[in-house]
Each structure stands twice: as C-alpha cells, then as structure tokens.
Amino acid sequence: MMIIIKNGTIVDPVRKECYQGDIQIEGNQLTRLARETEGGLAIPEGARVIKAQGLMVAPGLADTHVHFRDPGFTYKEDIQTGGAAAAKGGFTEIVLMANTRPCVDNKETLAYVLAKGKNTGIHIQSCANVTKGMGGKELVDMEELSLSGAAGFTDDGIPLVDEKLVREAMERAAALRKPISFHEEDPALITNNGINSGRAAAHFGIKGSPREAEINLARRDIALARLTGAEVVIQHISAKETVALLRQAKAEGICVHGEATPHHFTLTQEAVIEKGTLAKMNPPLREEEDRLAIIRGIQDGTIDLIATDHAPHSREEKEKPVTEAPSGIIGLETALSLGIRELVGKGYLDMPQLIERMSTAPCKLYGLPGGRIEEGARASLVLFHPGERWTVGGFLSRSANSPFIGENLPGVVYYTICDGKVVYERARLKDE
C-alpha cells in the first residue's frame, strides 16, 4: 500500500535542516519528498494518508547497544517484547549485545537471534562475542562469525583485561572492517560495581566503583586503536576524563567512537541515592561535572553515538539489596524523550543533530540501512510530537526497571514505520 505523510516537519540530519513537507512511500522506499513551499504531494486513490500536522518526521532511530536477554534470560525480555518496546520508542534499527546464555560466540546462536529478529517488524542485528564463553582468554572465530552476519564484536558486560588479546582482537576486527566495542571497567579497581565511589558509595556504606576503573582501560584501548586502525567504540562513557581522552584521540585522527547513554547525560549519583537499585548501573552514575562533560562531548561530536544500553531485569532482582541487585535499566521507550528534554530543550543540540547521533551516525558505523530521509532511501521513519508530554510507565518491555517511572517527559511517538510498514501506532484525537 502507498502511504502519504502530509504536512509533517521533516527532520533531515544529513542536510542539517527541518522543513514542512510531504513524503510518499511505496513498498520499502521513500519515493517522493515535497516541501510545502513546492505545493506538497497529491493523494493518489487508495493511498493511506497519515496527517502529520504538528509532528516531526525523522529517520527511524538506531540503537547499537541493546540487551534483549534472548536466549537464556527471557523472563527479563525476549526478542519479540524487546522489538515491540523498540518500535514504541521510535527505533527501527537495533544491534544486540552478545552476553546471552549461551552467549553469541558461535554461528548457531547468532543464527537463532537473527532469525527471531526477523519476526519483530524492525531490523535487528547482533554483535558476536570477542572471546569464547566471554572468558577473556581465547578469541572466537571472528572470521566465521562475520561471514555469518555479526554486526560487530563485543564482550559487553565483562571488561577485557588481557592487553595482548585485545590488540589481536582489534587487528582481526580491522581486517574484517567490523566495529569492536569495549566495556571499560578495570575489575581490579572495583569493590562494589554499579555505585560511584564517592558520595553514593558512602551513602550505602560501600567502596563502590572509582572513575579510574573506566579511565585506565579507555586510555589503553585508545592507544591500541591508534596502533591497529580498528573501528573502536568506547561504550557508555561515564567520566569526564574519558571524554577528554576521546577528544584528544579524535584530534589525532584515531578511529575511535564514543557512546553515551541517556541516563548518563541526564542523571548523577544523587539518583541512586534517591532511587536505589533502579538507578544502579555499570558504569555508575557519577557527578554533575561528569554529566556536563558528557553533554559537551555529544555537543561537539566527541561522543558520536547515543545508545540506551537497554538492560531489562525482573522486579525481584532489582528488589535485592544494593550490593546484590544487578546493574542496568531499560531505555528504549524513554531515550528520545530524554534527548529532547536534556539536549534539545536545553539548547545543547538542535533536532537534526539529535537525530544524527541517534540514527545517522550509528547506522553509518554499523552499515545499517537507515539514518537518511531522502528519495530512494529506506522508508524507515519515526513520527513524533516534540512538545507533547507523557508520563513514563506502561512499558511494552517485559521489564520495568527504570528510574524515570512517573516522570512527565516531552516527545510522544505516534508512528514508527519500518521498510514502509507501520510497526507502531499511537491513537491521535480525531480533530488532529
């Protein structure tokens, strides 16, 4: 069926502009775009019309750091429920992490994940592990996994401490032209993970996780990126010093990317003092100076990827004592709203810049089909009202471990379209 999107504000992150106009979708492609100043598009007989007055129309969002817990932990999330949550949040491109059970260190598990992803209505890719069994000792067959469809490589969740092994992994990833991502937390320096070693740790009477744990491994991996030429991603940055290291590396022309989560650019360690385990995460929320440094890094392009690290856990797990409860929060259904409130609403980014960091840049890095809004491009879009507000809750995710529950946020997603098909739709009032 042909779809005509009428009178939307089109957000073009490549040309860095917004304009009023119409979009025509045929099959899985955007076949025509017309600015309002050009008279818009006629409506062919039989076409579905989506009235987008008041809505922004942008490329579907892309999240390259997601945990769907499938296989092995599907009581937290599975690929179907995770895909539904992603579509509700405006995401059409997802790259999964590999710390499942069994983990994605073999082509059979990778095939299982990719096959289930095809039934969600959105594009779901998966990284493979760097080491067998996530043991940090022996590299997987990266060549075989790349040929089997791995989008990249990571042992996210478990830092890699063997420098020689990390260098070899980078060299092989570079030869395969695949991104390799690193969870930068030196376990030798951490007593209690998930809580910042500072005011938050003191509040709970524990030692916590110091910033040096992240800084040390990030410094090492930036140096190895210089030597190997690999596309290295420093995941979920939490410390201002890591932002500074990354900025210097990019100035030197090193091929390294920075990733920030909405929770790290929104919250500080005060949130874990208030919310307890609902704000416990790895790496932990740190101080206001760190939060602002992350925002400045996003603003100047030092941090080029915004990713949720969507990490579902059951209520029973999160109700355990702070030293026992698992780290992580869900984020797919709140990410766009937090980006609008914290980055666009406060003047750090304009809307095309936000969408570039949440769609175009991650698609480019991982070779995903989205991220553009132009004739001939894939018809994968998100339509949202940037000013309309909603109250966080009622998740489509199987889990509800979010510190933002009950908050009133701007940015309501009304349609998510993937390959020309509406995969999420929120009812609008009849007079809209």
In the set 12, 70, 155, 309, the catalytic residue is: 309
pTM: 0.97
Residue 430: predicted pLDDT: 47
Rounded CA separation 297/240 (Å): 9
Rounded CA separation 124/67 (Å): 11
Q: How many residues does the chain have?
A: 432
Residue 429: predicted pLDDT: 60
Ramachandran region of residue 357, left (φ > 0), alpha (ψ -120 to 50) or beta? alpha
Active site residue 309: yes
Residues 6+ apart with CB under 8 A from 422: 3, 415, 416
The pLDDT tens digits for 2-48 are 999 999 999 999 999 999 999 999 999 999 999 998 888 999 999 99
Supply φ then ψ for residue 155, to 5 degrees.
Answer: -110, 30
Q: Which of 272, 342, 293, 308 is nearest to 88 (CA)?
A: 308
Task: Indicate the residue type of 109.
Answer: T
The pLDDT tens digits for 265-298 are 999 999 999 999 999 999 999 999 999 999 999 9
| DSSP 8-state code for residue 139 | B
Residue 427: predicted pLDDT: 84
Q: Which of 109, 228, 103, 106 is nearest to 164 (CA)?
A: 228
Residues 6+ apart with CB under 8 A from 424: 84, 87, 88, 90, 413, 415, 416
Q: Which of 135, 137, 125 is nearest to 102 (CA)?
A: 135
Task: Indicate the residue type of 156.
Answer: D
Residue 37: predicted pLDDT: 87
- Residue 364 exposed, middle or buried by CB count within 10 Å (0-12, 13-18, 19+): middle
For the chain, 432 residues long, the average pLDDT of each consecutive 10-residue run is: 96 98 98 92 94 97 98 98 98 98 98 98 98 98 98 97 98 98 98 97 98 98 98 98 98 97 98 98 98 98 98 98 98 99 98 98 97 97 98 98 98 98 85 40
What b/e sequence results for 32-71 when a residue is b if at least 16 CB atoms lie within 10 Å of its CB, and e otherwise?
ebbeeeeeebeeeeebeebebeebbbbbbbbbbbbbbbbb
* DSSP for 375-400, written as a single string: TTSB--EEEEEEEEEEES---SSS--
Instruction: Give CA torsion, residues 217, 222, 226, 228, to 10 deg.
Output: 50
The pLDDT tens digits for 86-130 are 999 999 999 999 999 999 999 999 999 999 999 999 999 999 999
Contacts 24+ apart (CB under 8 A), 37-43: 40/6, 40/7, 41/4, 41/6, 43/4, 43/6
Q: What's the Cα-to-Cα distance from 432 to each of 21, 50, 266, 386, 414, rounded to whole Å?
A: 17, 11, 32, 15, 12
Angle at CA of residue 28, ends 70 and 124, nearest 5°:
15
Residue 359: predicted pLDDT: 98
